[in-house]
Amino acid sequence: MSKFSYNVTSDDAGYSVKEILRRNFSFSARLMTKFKKNDCILLNGKAVRVNVVPDSGDIINIDFPDEKSDFIPQDIPIIPVYEDNDLLIINKPAGYIVHPTKGHPAHTIANGLSRYMAKTGQVFKIRFVNRLDMDTSGLLVIAKNAHCQDEIVKQMQGKNVQKKYTAVVCGILENDEGTIDAPIGKSNDEAVARGVTPSGCPSVTRYTTLKRFKSGYSLAELSLETGRTHQIRVHMSHIGHPIVGDRLYGGERIWLIERQALHASSISFFHPMTGEHIEVSIDLPDDMIDLLNKLK
């Protein structure tokens, strides 16, 4: 269970518990209602009504209500790289859908997380903060309560979350750095592929060329200013440098790698509960290292 604690100060004099929480924090109205309904708000260890006025030195605690997801536990690899009572960040392998869909009702990361919770004695509702395509590997952030999810989403909207990806692309990137500013949309609601289209949503991708290979490929680091579906894949294909192995967007090279060579390599943000700056990075997976060795 996630827990929250706040020491009442002299600056809070005369304010009720509800007003103190509203002044100092950004719990959503929906979450506050849930706290009150489940007697989650404690003052010096005892459940209280939110209109109580505390004294300086009192301690307000919130025990987040237990919630759980009902995904069938399955033996899907879950590789934690950061975890506390509020957040879990994993290194997602390529080849797995993040969340069950009509076409993929099982064998997803969510199913693996259900098994991971059972093994580690945890119970929380699975809330994915970011999403990765099935064949994209790398960092995936899971919030263990609604407040953490809401707060990181707000940070994303305020451009305070930094995400970097590593990709191998077809062709030699001429510029050491570049910005791709091109709207992304799809031709109809049933289409899987996206494309650059005047009627699409504004989309901006920045890239830095890390290495050029004489064999006709480049290694790049990419960051997103927007978060459209398939954004990096669409943008790199749009400028004539599709990601190696990307069958959907023109980079298929099955003799080099069997999936798109795209890896979510780092992420940074402010912890929703502590305010601490969190920065996590991971190495390339084995198949991308093998690919780079082939290109040398």
* pLDDT tens-digit map of 43-74: 998 888 888 899 999 999 888 877 889 899 99
pLDDT value, residue 103: 84
Percent of the chain with pLDDT over 70: 99
d(CA 172, CA 154): 37
Of 32 and 290, more confident: 290
- The answer to whether 12 and 56 are in contact (CB under 8 A) is yes
Of 21 and 164, more confident: 164
Which residues of the chain does CATH 3.30.2350.10 include?
Answer: 162-264+291-295
Model pTM score: 0.85
pLDDT value, residue 248: 93
- The answer to whether 219 and 149 are in contact (CB under 8 A) is no
Whether domain 3-63 has CATH 3.10.290.10: the reply is yes
pLDDT at residue 1 greater than cutoff 70: no
- 246 in active site: no
* pLDDT tens-digit map of 142-191: 999 988 999 999 999 899 999 999 999 999 999 999 999 999 998 777 77
Residues 6 or more apart whose Cβ sits within 8 Å of residue 129: 141, 142, 143, 148, 149, 152, 153
50-64, 225-239, 280-294, range with the lowest pLDDT? 50-64
pLDDT value, residue 182: 96
Which residues of the chain does CATH 3.10.290.10 include?
Answer: 3-63
d(CA 233, CA 250): 10
Of 89 and 45, more confident: 89
Whether domain 162-264+291-295 has CATH 3.30.2350.10: the reply is yes
Exposed e or buried b per residue across 220-257, where buried means at least 16 C-beta atoms within 10 angstroms of its C-beta? bbbebeeebebbbbbbbbbbebbbbbbebbebbbeebb
- The answer to whether 180 and 204 are in contact (CB under 8 A) is yes
Structure-block tokens of residue 71: 């995904």
Q: Is the dihedral of CA 190, 192, 197, 203 positive or negative?
A: positive
- Residue 2 pLDDT grade (very low, low, confident, very high; cuts 50, 70, 90): low
Of the listed 12, 58, 86, 133, which one is catalytic?
133
Distance of CA 94 to the CA centre of its chain: 15
